[in-house]
Amino acid sequence: MIQQPKQRSLKYYTFLVVSLLVPLIGFFIYATQYQTSFFAFITIALLVNILLLSLFYRRLKMKKSGLKLQREEFFEKANVLKADLENESLVIASFRKKIIAYSQLKGIVEKLSMCLSQEDSAHTLCHEVGRLFEHGDATIILYLFDAATGDLAIAAAERNQRAVNIKSKRGDIFDNWIMKNLQPLYLEDARNDFRFDQEKVQEEEARVIRSILSVPLVVNNKLVGILRLDSPEASRFHKEDLRFLRTIGDVAGVALENAQLYDKVEDLAIRDSLTGLYLRRYLADRLQEELARHLRRDKSVAFIMLDLDHFKRYNDKFGHTAGDLVLKHMATLMKSHFAGAGNLLCRYGGEEFCVVLPECSKEEAMSLAKKFVELVQNEAVVLRREKTPVTVSAGVAVFPVDARTKEELVQRADQMLYEAKRKGRNRVCGAP
């Protein structure tokens, strides 16, 4: 604790002056009234007083200088203490912000850990980032990187906690820069950055983009995706925001990679490894759900059963590898022909396939099945450098016209398939 220097009171200095002058005045009165020769003594006393007062004045001046120095030292120490207190306040405020940020980060980690699929993880991440940054005009975008194609694909986008439609589905010039450099991007004003062509930006995006905050999601030196915030206002974000977003990106990258692995494992459990179509056990669950949903809405569901004609001949003539090629060829044609939204394509078993067509009438289903039979007939497959024709038979049944349950629907379509086989194959038969 700093103590102020002690100062002597006015009474002390008055007493000192009086003690010197009073005897001198007394001597002067005595010499005037009684003995004039005493003036010599008074003169000597006066000189002594003058000397003492000079010494006293000098000492007083030195004391004042010392007091001034002590006062300056006091104020200097006070300023140092004040600066230390301000620094400690800033440090405390910084720690408080970090504690809040890490608690928010903990919340993101907990919510992401509850998400299993990649889709759920993507939407949760965008929603939480938008909630943390609280920039009403900022758009939060999550792109995922497809290692097979080397392209980005938009997974989720939000603004003000609501989903938005983004024109650049595969990323724009800023996202391509991050893909190339694998470095975060912080732009206070995109219009003043020489690295990016503004004309190209305007061509790619209908939105106004001024400030950008974007980080790559990298796990084990592999790009998983890009997490980005952009705003139509300049200087909307700060470098502290970039540091926090990078921390979120580190966590998000691991979470998204785990979600991708989960989706792959789940996909392997419900899809055929050879054709990529859904398996029969997945069909059983989904078909029951579809029938219940369409029954509530008073809609029809079409079910097409397909079977390759004389499939054993391909295996016998060209080997089992050739049979696999024919199955893959069949699956490829099915994916292109029955590519409507909500259509369910399955490998039922062996060389049998099936298609579930939601909200489809019998006439529409029969037409699609006939066109597919013609497509397979016209698309020969090359086996051992030999163009080999392939044909398929099909049976069609519709719920609830031809059947009232899932089992009845499958059985009815299977009966129609065997009817097509009995009538000579390479044709379609529908329930009457």
Q: Give pLDDT tens digits for 331-373.
A: 999 999 998 888 999 999 899 999 999 999 999 999 999 999 9
- Helices assigned H by DSSP within 117-218: 118-133, 173-181, 198-204
Tell whether 124 and 246 lie within a shared domain. Answer: yes
What pLDDT score was predicted for residue 57? 77
Tell whether 294 and 330 lie within a shared domain. Answer: yes
The answer to the question of residue 175 being in a domain is: yes
Tell whether 359 and 291 lie within a shared domain. Answer: yes
- What average pLDDT is seen over the chain? 85
CB neighbour list of residue 113: distance below 8 Å, 6 or more residues apart? 255
User: Rounded to the nearest 10 degrees, what angle do helices 118-133 and 239-270 cross at?
Assistant: 160
The answer to the question of residue 1 being in a domain is: no
Pairing of strands 151-159, 428-430: unpaired
Tell whether 420 and 301 lie within a shared domain. Answer: yes
The answer to the question of residue 85 being in a domain is: no
Given 270, 298, 320, the domain boundary residue is: 270
Tell whether 259 and 297 lie within a shared domain. Answer: no
CATH code of residue 224: 3.30.450.40
The answer to the question of residue 95 being in a domain is: no
Q: Give pLDDT tens digits for 17-28.
A: 676 667 767 767
Split into its structural domains, the chain has a count of 3
Distance of CA 145 to the CA centre of its chain: 14
- How far, in Å, CA of 308 to CA of 326, rounded? 9
Tell whether 321 and 226 lie within a shared domain. Answer: no
pLDDT band, very low/low/confident/very high, at 2 (cuts 50, 70, 90): very low
Given 270, 300, 315, the domain boundary residue is: 270
Q: Give pLDDT tens digits for 146-188.
A: 888 889 999 999 998 888 888 778 888 899 999 999 999 999 9
Range of the domain at 213: 118-270
With 0.75 as the threshold, say if the pTM is over it. no
Q: Give pLDDT tens digits for 265-285.
A: 877 788 898 999 999 988 888
Tell whether 290 and 235 lie within a shared domain. Answer: no
The answer to the question of residue 107 being in a domain is: no
Q: How much is the average pLDDT of 397-401?
A: 93
Tell whether 257 and 285 lie within a shared domain. Answer: no
The answer to the question of residue 421 being in a domain is: yes
CATH code of residue 402: 3.30.70.270
- pLDDT for residue 389 is more than 50: yes
* C-alpha atoms less than 13 angstroms from C-alpha of 330 in its C-beta half-sphere: 30
